[in-house]
Structure 1
Amino acid sequence: MRNARYSKGRLLIVAAFALSASVFISGCQSATTPAVTAPGQIATDDAALAARVKQALVADSGLRSLPISVATYRGVVQLSGYVDSEVQIQKALAVTRGVPGAQSVSNDLHLRSQ
Structure 2
Amino acid sequence: MSKLKLAVRFLLSLLLVITIAGCASSPKTESTGEYFDDSVLTTKVKSSILGDSRLKVLQINVETFKGVVLLSGFVDSAAAATRAVQIARTIRGVKSVNNALVVK
Scaled by the length of structure 1, the TM-score of the pair is 0.59
Shift of 1:34: 6.1
Shift of 1:88: 0.5
Shift of 1:64: 5.2
* Runs of 4+ residues deviating >2 angstroms: 31-35, 62-66
Mind listing any 5+ residue stretches in structure 1 that lack a counterpart?
A: 1-26, 36-43
Q: Deviations over 1:24-45 (max 9, x none)?
A: xxx9xxx94766xxxxxxxx71
Is contact 1:57-1:95 (8 Å) kept? Answer: yes
Counterpart of 1:76 (choices 68, 74, 87) is 68
Q: Secondary structure in 1 aligned to 2:58?
A: coil
- Indicate the structure with greater helix content: 2
**Residue 45 (str. 1) matches residue 37 (str. 2):** yes
Partner of 2:55: 63
Shift of 1:57: 0.3
CA distance in 2, matches of 1:67, 1:33: 29
C-alpha distance 54-75 of structure 1, shift in aligned 2 (>3 A): same
Q: Secondary structure in 1 aligned to 2:83?
A: helix
1:1-114 to 2 correspondences below 5 Å: 32=31, 45-63=37-55, 65-112=57-104
Is contact 1:57-1:64 (8 Å) kept? Answer: no
Give, as a single letter, the amino acid of the residue that structure 2 aligns with 1:100. Answer: R
C-alpha distance 65-33 of structure 1, shift in aligned 2 (>3 A): closer
Q: Aligned-pair RMSD on alpha carbons?
A: 2.3
Is contact 1:83-1:110 (8 Å) kept? Answer: yes
Structure with the greater alpha carbon radius of gyration: 1
